[in-house]
Amino acid sequence: MNSQATDSWRQSADRDLILNAGPRFELLVRGEGSHLWDGEGRRYLDFLAGIAVTALGHSHPVFVEAVSRQAGTLAHVSNYFATPPQLELAARLKRLAGAGEDGRVFFGNSGTEANEAAFKLARLHGGAERPRILSLENAFHGRTIGALALTAKASMREPFEPMPGGVEHIPATIEALEAAMDDRVAALFVEPIQGEAGVLELPEGYLKVARELTTKHGALLIVDEIQTGAGRTGDWFGYQHEGILPDAITLAKGIGGGFPIGALVAFGPAAALLQPGSHGSTFGGNPLATAVSNAVLEEIEQAGLVRNARERGVQVREAIEGIGSPLVTGVRGRGLLIGVALAAPVASLVVSAAQRLGLIVNAANASSVRIAPALTIGDAEIAEFTDLFAAALAEVAATALTETNA
């Protein structure tokens, strides 16, 4: 693609797309495995996976076959009817999550929709006697109004206030949770790892204490697994690292491998809260989306990709630490959800330098780079990543640290 053509797509994007995401970085036209190509034929190593979405990488044969087969069979019928892929996926998610026979699944099309359903679940459980819903500082649960009320980011919330009432944001500490919890709390919403905040892990033992306190006070424990689920952290779901069972979890991103789907999985008595007419989704749980999700999750299971995420995550973190960049002050996360803490607020510069070199990563905030590659990566991809990321860090460090010390 020549410069005139490049100018043309940028002009089209500026003219025709709502600017909620800002200017697009590139025009990407093709993907295979952990690589993407732009309109000029340039190759990029994708270590973001569409923000923890393309769990199998790009154009994986299992994904392609599932889309093609189901599209030629049955794509949509509405939720007045059930379909085999929908029933199969509901049973699969219950099994993987340990929800038991009395668990139930609601399907939507995205993570924010799953959290909207969970918000309503909390309200139904709480009623007038339990008006309080707790969420954590630095939390991100989505951008629709209910999910945004749970999200503790003032810059996202303020233009759309007033938010739905009753939500309180507390520090992500055990002490703050103990102080806040009482019998008027309907639910506690938590992410096992706060991805949008820079891949911040909860304190050790937090989820166990949260489970104990919510049980004691009759509140729901709702775990947002949208970014951490589907094997990304080295277990199927983040809460499983602490051996607890929540009352509900929300899912999206990796469970579809690139196809839009979200889900709320409710456990025990919480599974009976949503009744006919209390919630719905025209497209949620359609046979095309659920067939693809079944295929993606089956491949993750059969190919041992949960274990691969656990082992390759250690390898990636060690590789980053081994670079020895003065710009890197720490490496956080679990499995293949990794945050790189920087010594200066230059994450966007690191991301831009990496992209120029042919590497796609993400600035979760001004001083954190987020890394979330496909669960299928191996030695070759990690070696390529290490070289490219080291070069990007070196390019930025030479200027950034000089300016910081001046």
Question: Residue 255: what pLDDT?
Answer: 98
Instruction: Quick: pLDDT tens for 251-265.
Output: 999 999 999 999 999
Chain-wide mean pLDDT for the chain?
95
Burial of 150 (0-12, 13-18, 19+ CB in 10 A): buried
Residues 6 or more apart in contact with residue 145 via CB below 8 angstroms? 160, 163, 164
Question: Residue 2: what pLDDT?
Answer: 53
Domains with residue ranges and CATH for the chain: 3-60+304-405 (3.90.1150.10), 74-302 (3.40.640.10)
Q: List, as residue ranges, the binding site.
A: 111-112, 140, 143, 224-227, 281-282
Where the chain has pLDDT below 50, the residues are: 1
Among 47, 119, 235, 253, the one annotated catalytic = 253
Among 224, 259, 267, 389, the one annotated catalytic = 224
Block residue for tokens 């998610």: 93
- Residue 224 designated active-site: yes
- Residue 140 designated active-site: yes
Instruction: Quick: pLDDT tens for 193-216.
Output: 999 999 999 999 999 999 999 999
- Residue 379 designated active-site: no
Question: Residue 29: what pLDDT?
Answer: 95
- Please name every residue paired with 43 in a beta bridge, in sequence order, or none if there are none: 37
Residues 6 or more apart in contact with residue 68 via CB below 8 angstroms? none
Among 140, 237, 267, 389, the one annotated catalytic = 140
Q: How many residues are recorded in the chain?
A: 406
Q: What span, in angstroms and rounded, lies between the C-alpha atoms of 108 and 223?
A: 17
Q: What span, in angstroms and rounded, lies between the C-alpha atoms of 224 and 107?
A: 15
Q: For Cα atoms 380, 200, 228, give the angle at the middle one, nearest 5 degrees.
A: 60
Q: List, as residue ranges, the binding site for pyridoxal 5'-phosphate.
A: 111-112, 140, 224-227, 282
Question: Residue 164: what pLDDT?
Answer: 93
Determine the residue type at 271.
A
Burial of 305 (0-12, 13-18, 19+ CB in 10 A): buried
